[in-house]
DNA sequence: CTTAAGTTTGCATAGGTATGCAAGTTTTCG
DNA sequence: CGAAAACTTGCATACCTATGCAAACTTAAG
């Protein structure tokens, strides 16, 4: 037996097993039509009252907004998006958010900046090697106005898919040649060279590179720049892999130092690994930084300046990379015919106490 | 003079100043109707083919999905939300994402877990003291199915607003008495007691509490538990404020130790402050941890176990707090009449090297 | 007071999907 | 083979807002 009582905002359903369930009907959403009725105007006028550019008599608009406010009306963004063909949502795909403190900062800045520009953020947090082919369709399904991908690798098939949808795509610290995606990267090759030169100039004889994940462009490029300098100076450099995390870097650092011909300088592809290496050399090997081994990182996360680490590192210009990325994406949202931008931004060597300066 | 040429996917507009602008029309979205035409079925059937529960002949569905796939059709989630009254979006409001490594982890776990449950995440990253009264309306405007707020304080007016909209609200490490929000918190009072008892049992004579932000319930509750134990044992405890960040904690720790009657134990309201205090005591004061001063933190962030810190701390059961929160929110989305849950989950004291154990 | 210009409003429709209902089709089984 | 049951499909409508167009109204100018 079913008993229903609509129109007064809830309904009873009596089940045969004598259980009484009170099923609060989802509070009927208040629509622009109800506001219109209360104000004695048409729905159009209510709608226009909510877009500042639309022409509505000042008095009318005030009255309508007053009523709307009183009964708690708010436009339905879904319906609006449907008709305007603009969702005002951007998708952000981010990885490494737990493993590298650099990325929470990036995420925070990105999300704030989009917010300031009136864009909502739909977030996907992924593993570094997670396949984005499942993620992008979800974003496109929600008609996002644009997509920003941080530190995760995208198949060029998916980049093409975005292009087909006409959804602009911006990459942060990644690039896809021959796609029509924009990208904004720290100049990783130059950063690597900076560090290499620093080691050479300060008289280090057996430097090493500690790689992140070997399939990431960031690690590859930092290594490339570093090794270029080594070759140019006829210096042989060792290499180990630390997978961009503390523990692996800790172990790798031990391997680099615990050998007949220990290294005297390690360039780590990010700060977290540099800190791991530093801890390993001090705690596990009982050696001194920078006296026995110089250590230089990459990113300049806040931790790098803490007294216990005092890490020399290559600072990524986060703020300007974020500004550039967001501005690019938003401008390409507003002007779809705009071509993608590619910008490589110089990092800055921040010299602290973890590296020797003189010979 | 304006010249327009629609129907062939772009239009020219010639401005009086002779500037030629080519305005690529946004690629027309492919709709279910087009798929229907190609498949020789009605739009209804196409729609049904995309909901596994809806009855469609197997052969028909295969053909439709094949065509859809070929021409790159994907349902429009906005339109779907409009009619189903379900957006499949949850709002997450998070703060401290850059200042406390605990929260990136929380965010990552939350976002993954929602994802697994088929919910998209709309993210707002805020400052701890930022007013959420501007944020919530934006979420409600997008018809989010539910809202989860982490470590940020919500006015009870806004909590009521959610209730009025029928949008379930779950708080993570915060609570609002007398609201109909759910909340899931670590048992901060009990955690404080745990630490207090530990200091007493191991014979510390002059302990101190290093508060986070004094207007947060987490800091208040941890202090409360700690001080209860002190009072019960007739011990006087000092207090300083570190605002949940490294630098302030560093300075506060110096003040606690650099006095005629220095403290011999500091309970810090989170791990980041504990690390700041630890650095201060070692680097700035040249004293030993735990020989001169014991330090205990709260959270058990990954860094706490690094050799250079080796921090004793109260572990927050992140995973189960996240699981509980997400499950609660989703179940209240699916069953709106469900009452809110309130759960306080015990933390666990993880004893490492930064605190003395014996007398 | 008349007319033109400017301002404000309403009508009607579009945006893309989901779904109750009824009609149509196929299968089942006696 | 016939009737009932089960399955498939199409029709029509609803979800809520924005906006082009024309009508109604107001103001300015003569």
Cα(B52)–Cα(B61) distance, rounded to whole angstroms?
A: 10
DSSP H or E run through B234:
none
Looking at residue B3, its pLDDT comes to 33
Q: Hey, where are the domains in chain A?
A: 10-75, 84-186+318-347, 188-316
Q: Considering only the C-alpha atoms of chain A, give the largest distance between any 2 of them, rounded to a whole number of Å.
A: 91
Looking at residue A21, its pLDDT comes to 28
- Say whether B141 and A72 touch across the interface (CB within 8 A): no
**For D6, which residue's CA is nearest its C1'?**
B55
Note down pLDDT in tens along chain A; length 359 residues.
333 332 323 333 222 222 222 233 345 689 999 999 999 999 999 999 999 999 999 999 999 999 999 999 999 999 999 999 999 999 999 998 998 999 999 999 999 999 999 999 999 999 887 889 999 999 999 999 999 999 777 888 888 889 999 999 999 999 888 889 999 999 999 999 999 999 999 999 999 999 999 988 899 999 999 999 999 999 999 999 999 999 999 999 999 999 999 999 999 999 999 999 999 999 999 999 999 999 999 999 999 999 889 999 999 999 999 999 999 999 999 999 999 999 999 999 999 999 998 75
Looking at residue B27, its pLDDT comes to 55
Q: Which of residues 18-47 of B touch strand C (CB under 7 A)?
A: 28-29, 31-33, 43-44, 47
Nearest Cα of chain B lies from the Cα of A24 at a distance, in angstroms, of: 6
Interface-testing mutation among B307, B309, B337, with chain A (most A C-beta atoms within 10 A): B307
Cα(A102)–Cα(A272) distance, rounded to whole angstroms?
A: 9
Q: How far is the CA of B48 from the C1' of C21 (A)?
A: 16
Question: Is the Cβ atom of A203 within 7 Å of strand C at any atom?
Answer: no
Q: Is B277 helix (H, G, I), strand (E, B) or coil?
A: helix
Please give the CATH topology (third level) of the domain spanning A10-75: 434 Repressor (Amino-terminal Domain) (1.10.260)
Contacts of A302 in chain B (CB under 8 A): 246
- Say whether A306 and B275 touch across the interface (CB within 8 A): yes
Q: How far is the CA of A137 from the C1' of C20 (A)?
A: 30
Nucleotide closest in space to B32 (CA vs C1'):
C16
Cα(A180)–Cα(A341) distance, rounded to whole angstroms?
A: 9
Nucleotide closest in space to A75 (CA vs C1'):
D17
- Say whether A107 and B92 touch across the interface (CB within 8 A): no
From B23, B98, B142, residue closest to A77, measured CB to CB: B142
Contacts of A98 in chain B (CB under 8 A): 104-105, 108
Domain B188-316 = CATH 3.40.50.620? no
String of DSSP letters for B281-324:
IIIIT---TTTT-EEEEEE--GGGGSTTT--EEEEP-HHHHHHH
Looking at residue A359, its pLDDT comes to 53
Q: What is the CATH class of B86-186+318-346? A: alpha beta
From A75, A98, A137, residue closest to B108, measured CB to CB: A98
Mention every residue, 6+ apart, whose C-beta is less than 8 A from residue A173: A150, A151, A184, A185, A186, A217, A218, A321
Q: From B278, which residue of chain A is nearest by alpha-carbon distance?
A: A308
Q: Which nucleotides of strand C come closer than 7 angstroms to any CB of the protein?
A: 7-12, 14-20
- Say whether B82 and A85 touch across the interface (CB within 8 A): no
- B8 secondary structure, DSSP code: S
| Peptide bond connecting B318 to the previous residue in cis, omega within 30 degrees of 0 | no
**Total Cβ atoms within 10 A of residue A80:** 18
Q: Is B271 helix (H, G, I), strand (E, B) or coil?
A: helix
**Phi-psi sector, A41: left (phi>0), alpha (psi -120 to 50), beta:** beta
Q: From B86, which residue of chain A is nearest by alpha-carbon distance?
A: A78
Question: Is the Cβ atom of A76 within 7 Å of strand C at any atom?
Answer: no
- Say whether A78 and B82 touch across the interface (CB within 8 A): yes
Q: From B111, which residue of chain A is nearest by alpha-carbon distance?
A: A125
Q: Are A24 and B337 in contact (CB under 8 A)?
A: yes
Cα(A4)–Cα(B252) distance, rounded to whole angstroms?
A: 64
CATH of the domain spanning A84-186+318-347: 3.40.50.2300
Nucleotide closest in space to A60 (CA vs C1'):
C8
Per-residue pLDDT of A91-135, as tens digits, reads 999 998 998 999 999 999 999 999 999 999 999 999 887 889 999
Nucleotide closest in space to B83 (CA vs C1'):
D15
Note down pLDDT in tens along chain B; length 359 residues.
333 332 323 333 323 222 222 233 345 689 999 999 999 999 999 999 999 999 999 999 999 999 999 999 999 999 999 999 999 999 999 998 998 999 999 999 999 999 999 999 999 999 877 889 999 999 999 999 999 999 777 888 888 889 999 999 999 999 888 889 999 999 999 999 999 999 999 999 999 999 999 988 899 999 999 999 999 999 999 999 999 999 999 999 999 999 999 999 999 999 999 999 999 999 999 999 999 999 999 999 999 999 889 999 999 999 999 999 999 999 999 999 899 999 999 999 999 999 998 75
- Say whether B120 and A138 touch across the interface (CB within 8 A): yes
Quick check: do A10-75 and A84-186+318-347 share a fold?
no
Q: Mind spelling out the 3-state secondary structure of chain A?
A: CCCCCCCCCEEEEECCCCCEEEEECCCCCCCHHHHHHHHCCCHHHHHHHCCCCCCCCHHHHHHHHHHHHHHCCCCCHHHHHHHHCCCCEEEEEEECCCCCCHHHHHHHHHHHHHHHCCCEEEEEEECCCCCHHHHHHHHHHCCCCEEEEECCCCCHHHHHHHHHHCCCEEEECCCCCCCCCEEEEECHHHHHHHHHHHHHHCCCCCEEEEECCCCCHHHHHHHHHHHHHHHHCCCCCEEEECCCCHHHHHHHHHHHHCCCCCCCEEEECCHHHHHHHHHHHHHHCCCCCCCCCEEEEEECCHHHHCCCCCCEEEECCHHHHHHHHHHHHHHHHHCCCCCCCEEEECCEEECCCCCCCCC
């Amino acid at each position: 037996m079913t008993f229903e009582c609509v129109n007064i905002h809830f309904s009873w359903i009596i089940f045969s097993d004598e259980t009484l369930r009170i099923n609060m009907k989802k509070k009927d959403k208040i629509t622009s039509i109800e506001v219109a009725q209360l104000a004695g105007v048409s729905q159009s006028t209510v709608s226009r009252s909510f877009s500042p550019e639309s022409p509505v008599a000042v008095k009318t608009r005030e009255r309508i907004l007053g009523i709307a406010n009183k009964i708690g009306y708010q436009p339905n963004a879904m319906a609006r998006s449907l008709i305007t063909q603009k969702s005002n949502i951007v998708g952000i795909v981010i990885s490494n958010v737990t493993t590298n403190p650099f990325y929470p900062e990036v995420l925070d800045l990105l999300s704030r900046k989009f917010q300031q520009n009136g864009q909502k953020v739909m977030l996907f947090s992924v593993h570094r090697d997670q396949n984005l082919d499942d993620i992008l369709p979800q974003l496109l399904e929600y008609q996002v106005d644009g997509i920003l991908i941080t530190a995760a690798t995208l198949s060029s098939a998916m980049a093409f898919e975005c292009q087909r949808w006409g959804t602009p795509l911006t990459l942060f610290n990644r690039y896809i040649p021959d796609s029509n995606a924009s990208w904004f990267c720290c100049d990783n090759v130059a950063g690597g060279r900076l560090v290499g030169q620093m080691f050479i100039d300060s008289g280090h004889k057996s430097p090493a590179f500690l790689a992140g994940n070997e399939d990431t462009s960031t690690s590859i490029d930092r290594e490339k720049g570093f090794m270029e300098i080594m070759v140019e100076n006829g210096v042989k450099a060792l290499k180990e892999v630390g997978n961009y995390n503390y523990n692996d870097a800790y172990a790798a650092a031990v391997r680099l130092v615990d050998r007949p011909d220990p290294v005297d300088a390690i360039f780590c592809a990010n700060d977290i690994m540099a800190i791991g290496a530093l801890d390993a050399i001090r705690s596990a090997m009982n050696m001194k930084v920078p006296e026995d081994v110089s250590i230089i990182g990459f990113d300049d996360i806040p931790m790098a300046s803490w007294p216990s680490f005092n890490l020399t590192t290559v600072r990524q210009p986060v703020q300007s990379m974020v500004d550039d990325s967001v501005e690019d994406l938003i401008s390409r949202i507003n002007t779809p015919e705009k071509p993608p931008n590619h910008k490589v931004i110089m990092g800055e060597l921040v010299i602290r106490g973890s590296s020797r300066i003189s010979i």
